[in-house]
Amino acid sequence: MSAAISGSTRLAGVIGDPVRHSLSPALLNAAFGAAGLDWVYVAFPVAEGGAPSALDSMRLLDIGGLSVTMPHKEAVAAAVDRCSPAAAALRAVNCVRREGDVLVGENTDGEGFVRSLVGELGVTPGDRRCVVLGAGGAGRAVVKALADAGAAEVVVVNRTESKAVAAADLAGSRGRTGSRADVSAADIVVNSTPMGMAERGDLPLAADDLREGQVVVDLVYHPLVTPLLEIADAAGARTMNGLGMLLHQAAIQFELWTDHGAPIGAMRQAALDELASR
Ligand code: NAP
């Protein structure tokens, strides 16, 4: 956040319901402050059905950027003037930027995920065999981004088969649906379900499914070390939690709005401080 709010301070924010628990204000205000930009970022509780009005408000109040979270991602994709290719393919928007009066819907989740793989682990998806567990909003974004980044194959494993099929389609000829039996052959395994957050018995995979040398990512970031990451670590896999994706998808939003490189170190520290206080 800038040191003092003035008449020229730019406003950005996040719309969602619920939204008061969002980490985005901590992340983005830390980024504006570290970059020395006169911007401030707030949370706007907007009930389901309110996305078109929120976009009208963005135009009217000259809001510089909006993040979008549940339950508005699909409604915003339908209501913006134009969608980026990723947002159009996913039919979901997590970030709105302005081109003058034109509101452009973006989806930074998938690119944020790939950037986190590269930035945090030094792993590129090119020619890798990938398995994605889950086919919801996060899973779909990851499937598409892995395929776009050149993965050899992206196998989607999901409880509801029809959603697995739709997600695998996002990877084109390199996508298919599969089962837990596909996990041991994969180079990169991504859990995009909330399974295992509460109880160890609810884990999506067992230690036997995993092996040394694999990369195992759990998109959950609270707790930072999930039971799945613990068993993956014990199996000799390289592991990453969801904090990297959270940081990098926010960093891309910052860059889209401001044209400045994101101060990722300040954003990471703000996220860790905020999570530690919860
Ligand atoms: P979502 O759209 O609700 O999708 C949830 C997915 O998990 C669906 O595929 C669902 O399967 C599956 N699932 C849920 N409960 C299950 C269970 N008990 N057994 C088997 N499958 C189950 O949610 P989302 O937005 O994609 O988020 C998914 C996870 O990713 C959450 O833990 C969220 O916190 C995390 N996330 C992290 C980031 C980040 O930046 N790190 C960003 C977004 C989300 P069905 O299709 O069968 O219902």
Q: Per-residue pLDDT for 2 more than 70?
A: no
pLDDT digits (tens, 9 = 90+) for 137-196: 999 999 999 999 999 999 999 999 999 999 999 999 999 999 999 999 999 999 999 887
Per-residue model confidence as pLDDT tens digits over 77-105: 999 999 999 999 999 999 999 999 899 99
CA of 191 to the centre of ligand 1 (A): 8
Instruction: Please give the positions annotated as active site.
Output: 73
220 CA distance to ligand 1 centroid (A)?
9
Q: Which residue has its alpha carbon closest to ligand 1 atom 1? A: 136
Q: What is the mean pLDDT of residues 47-60?
A: 97
Instruction: Confirm or reject: Cβ of 219 under 6 Å from ligand 1.
Output: yes
Q: How far, in Å, CA of 260 to CA of 91, rounded?
A: 27
State the Cα–Cα distance between residues 247 and 233, nearest whole angstrom.
22
> Does any ligand 1 atom lie closer than 6 A to the CB of residue 194?
yes
- The whole-number average pLDDT for the span 248-254 is 98
DSSP code for 224:
S
Give which of 25, 30, 70 is closest to 43, Cα–Cα: 25
pLDDT per position as a tens digit, 123-145: 999 999 999 999 999 999 999 99
pLDDT band at 201 (very low <50, low <70, confident <90, very high): low
Residue 226 has pLDDT above 80, yes or no: yes
Confidence of residue 239 (pLDDT cuts 50, 70, 90): very high
What's phi and psi for 181, nearest 5 deg? -65, -15
24 Cβ inside 6 Å of ligand 1: no
pLDDT at residue 45 is higher than 80: yes
pLDDT, position 199: 56
Residue 276 contacts by C-beta under 8 Å, 6 or more apart in sequence? none
